[in-house]
């Protein structure tokens, strides 16, 4: 499947379309994807850190940031995900490893398009929203195919502002977070990934590490 077909397929999945979409819907979604791409100005900011497991999660060394929860700790230190970690002595716990923290956004133009369309055609706005979600995920795949974001597993969404602060995302790419932990622009992602480029090759399904069974991506 080429990249364009995958993005279209993902957009349909986010819309809740399971199988055999009618040709007219395919045409509508393809046109909506083109509209989103025209409005998007993708950009990102990323930094590498050493990360160390601690009693309540993962400490990002050189900062005051602690990512709470067992799931993010297991994600970073799971040898099955990374060739570099597979080469370590299984009887010797690795004290730290290099991770990449990043934030990415499609930009304010997509938000403006979604808001404008919602005021005129709610159904079309839903199609555009699904296309924008597919496009930001596609963009993040070019940065880190295997990643872990606030809200996954037991990593609370409340860590979002701290992550953006560590990245200085507001100044770098104009990305901020509301008091309700919603990122502005809305079609944005923050995530943690292993810095080693070989990490993730053994897991073609990036959803495999997520424990949220109610996700539409798993239901469709």
Q: Rounded to an integer, what distance in angstroms lies between the CA atom of residue 208 and that of residue 215?
A: 12
Number of domains within the chain = 1
Half-sphere exposure of 19 (CA within 13 A, CB side): 0
Please check the confidence at residue 214 and state whether its pLDDT lies above 70: no
Q: What is the mean pLDDT of residues 5-15?
A: 93
Contact yes or no for 201/83 (Cβ under 8 A) = yes
From residue 63, give the alpha-carbon distance in Å to each of 32, 58, 149.
41, 12, 18
Least confident of 17-21, 127-131, 139-143: 17-21
Contact yes or no for 76/194 (Cβ under 8 A) = yes
User: What is the phi/psi pair of residue 59, to 5°?
Assistant: -90, 125
Q: Which domain, by its residues, includes 191? A: 3-219
Q: Rounded to an integer, what distance in angstroms lies between the CA atom of residue 116 and that of residue 195?
A: 39
Please check the confidence at residue 37 and state whether its pLDDT lies above 60: yes
- Which residues contact residue 219 at a Cβ distance below 8 angstroms, ignoring those fewer than 6 apart? none
From residue 193, give the alpha-carbon distance in Å to each of 82, 109, 148.
11, 27, 6
Please check the confidence at residue 174 and state whether its pLDDT lies above 80: yes
Confidence (pTM): 0.85
The pLDDT assigned to 3 comes to: 67
Q: What is the mean pLDDT of residues 39-57?
A: 95
- Domain at 73, CATH number: 3.40.109.40
**Coil, helix or strand for 212?**
coil
The pLDDT assigned to 78 comes to: 77
Give the dihedral sign, CA 168/169/173/175: negative
Please check the confidence at residue 91 and state whether its pLDDT lies above 70: no
Least confident of 42-51, 99-108, 203-212: 203-212
The pLDDT assigned to 202 comes to: 45
Give CA 69 to chain center in angstroms: 18
Chain mean pLDDT for the chain: 86
pLDDT tens sequence across 50-76: 999 998 899 999 999 999 999 999 999
Q: Rounded to an integer, what distance in angstroms lies between the CA atom of residue 196 and that of residue 211?
A: 24
DSSP class of 150: T
């Amino acid at each position: 499947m080429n990249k364009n077909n995958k993005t279209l397929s993902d957009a349909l999945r986010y819309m809740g379309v399971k199988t055999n979409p009618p040709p007219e819907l395919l045409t509508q979604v393809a046109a909506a994807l083109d509209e989103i791409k025209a409005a998007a100005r993708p950009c990102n900011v990323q930094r590498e850190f050493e990360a160390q497991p601690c009693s309540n999660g993962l400490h990002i060394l050189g900062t005051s940031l602690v990512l709470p929860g067992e799931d993010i700790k297991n994600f970073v230190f799971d040898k099955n995900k990374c060739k570099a970690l597979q080469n370590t002595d299984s009887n010797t716990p690795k004290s730290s490893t290099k991770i990449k923290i990043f934030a990415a956004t499609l930009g304010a133009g997509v938000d403006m398009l979604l808001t404008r369309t919602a005021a005129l055609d709610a159904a079309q706005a839903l199609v555009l929203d699904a296309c924008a979600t597919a496009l930001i995920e596609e963009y993040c795949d070019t940065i880190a195919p295997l990643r872990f974001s606030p809200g996954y597993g037991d990593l609370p969404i409340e860590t979002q502002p701290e992550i953006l602060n560590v990245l200085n995302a507001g100044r770098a790419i104009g990305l901020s977070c509301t008091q309700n932990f919603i990122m502005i622009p809305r079609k944005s992602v923050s995530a943690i990934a292993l810095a080693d480029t070989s990490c993730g090759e053994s897991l073609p399904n990036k959803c495999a590490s997520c424990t949220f069974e109610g996700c539409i991506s798993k239901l469709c």
